Amino acid sequence: MLPAVKNYRDLARNRLSRFAFDYLDGGAEDGHAMARNLASWSRVTLKPRAMVDVTEVDAGVDVFGKRQALPVFVGPTGLNGLYWPRAEEALARAAHTAGVPFVLSTASTSLIEDVRAATDGELWLQLYVQKNRRIAESMMARAQTAGFNALMLTVDTMVHGKRDHDIRNGFRMPVPWTIRLMTDLAMHPRWCLRMLRQGGSPQLVNLARSSGTASNIEQQAAALSRQMDMGLTWDDIAWVRRHWRGPVIVKGLLTVGDALRAQRAGADGIVISNHGGRQLDAAPSPLEQLPPIADAVRSKMHIFVDGGVRRGSDIAKALALGAHAVLLGRAPLYGLAARGPRGVAEVMDILRDEFEITLRLLGVAHASRLSSNCVA
């Protein structure tokens, strides 16, 4: 096991091709939003209490009436087949070994049904809505049949943010064969062999199945990006409710006003998120928006936050500022790209150990007792 999540990032950089690592690690435009996300955690300091019995600590929390071992989710991320074959199955198994839910992305490279077959743990579905809403309806129906527990509706991707690194690398799906790419692949033979063993370019298989798209990555990518429903409004929460039994969480909010609108529209929870700094480069960091949003709606709905969680102490900071749990995006992927399923498990163990250490050093024996009193 490596010392920290950042060490798995370093190893992933060495093992992935350049375009794959940049897709994983890069943000929108100049990377300011992503930098703000990472910096925001270091600006929060915590107040430890002394002489508290922390022989035993309880790192678990209740979310929608269910107990989970840590206040984290392995969050939804797309095109994970770039990092390891059958990536979502590996991520789901690691999440459930850690005692936390896994959120499967619409842009996954593993089928809903295959992820369910890989584990009997708790699964959530993250949903993008295309112009043809029958695609989203099909995905919801398939996830319900497979026993997924909750739906995470992402609302901050009407269009894809401008990502300079993808343009610079010539990255698109399918991956174009250029001299630059072939040189990149030659420098990463182990990664190249893994991709060849899984049949080359990963496919957006869930989108393909629900849209009736052939095994053609260009058509799948078009269905995911150029055909997003830009007319989605708060009234459409009612449409989601007609097709989904269970909690509905709206992901991609950054203002108190939108949090209140989500609550009035009937959402059960929200994710304060700027999409990992990959959409609007001028967006604020989610952590900075957490306290006022928590003040406004925490008593009425579940609040989750993401954006640069790299340490167990970050989890404690988020809960102290009003979140019920955090979403992990890049951190498990660094583990996956660095060491495969073993790397994901190690990253989850590191975050658990660091979170429990933070609880003990704070003098807080139960994660549920983290509050603003813990923030300096």
Closest CA to 88 of 123, 129, 57, 60: 123
Burial class (CB in 10 A: 0-12, 13-18, 19+), 182: exposed
Closest Cα to residue 108, out of 79, 85, 139? 79
Q: Mapping DSSP to helix (H, G, I), strand (E, B) and coil, where does residue 172 land?
A: coil
Cis omega (within 30 of 0) for bond into 189? no
Compute the distance between CA of residue 85 and CA of residue 314 in angstroms, rounded to an integer: 30
For residue 155, the one-letter residue type is: V
How far apart (Å, rounded) are the C-alpha atoms in residues 158 and 271?
A: 17
Is there a contact between 76 and 105 (Cβ–Cβ < 8 Å)? yes
Which one from 165, 275, 302, 324 is the annotated catalytic residue? 275
Active site includes 275?
Answer: yes
Distances (CA, A) of 375 to 352, 363, 372: 20, 13, 5
Instruction: Measure CA 266 to chain center.
Output: 23
- How many Cβ atoms from other residues are within 10 Å of residue 367's Cβ? 21
Q: What is the 8-class DSSP label of residue 324? A: S
For residue 31, which of 305, 288, 276 has the smallest C-alpha distance? 276
Tell me how far apart the alpha carbons of residues 289 and 297 are, in angstroms, rounded to a whole number. Answer: 13
- Among residues 70, 47, 61, the alpha carbon closest in space to that of 369 is found at 61
Cα separation, 305 vs 294, whole angstroms: 11
Q: How far apart are CA 56 and CA 35, in angstroms?
A: 36
Residue 119 class from Cβ within 10 Å (0-12 exposed, 13-18 middle, 19+ buried)?
Answer: middle
Residue found under tokens 């790209």: 337
Residue 186, Cβ neighbours under 10 Å: how many?
10
Where in the sequence numbering do the catalytic residues fall? 275
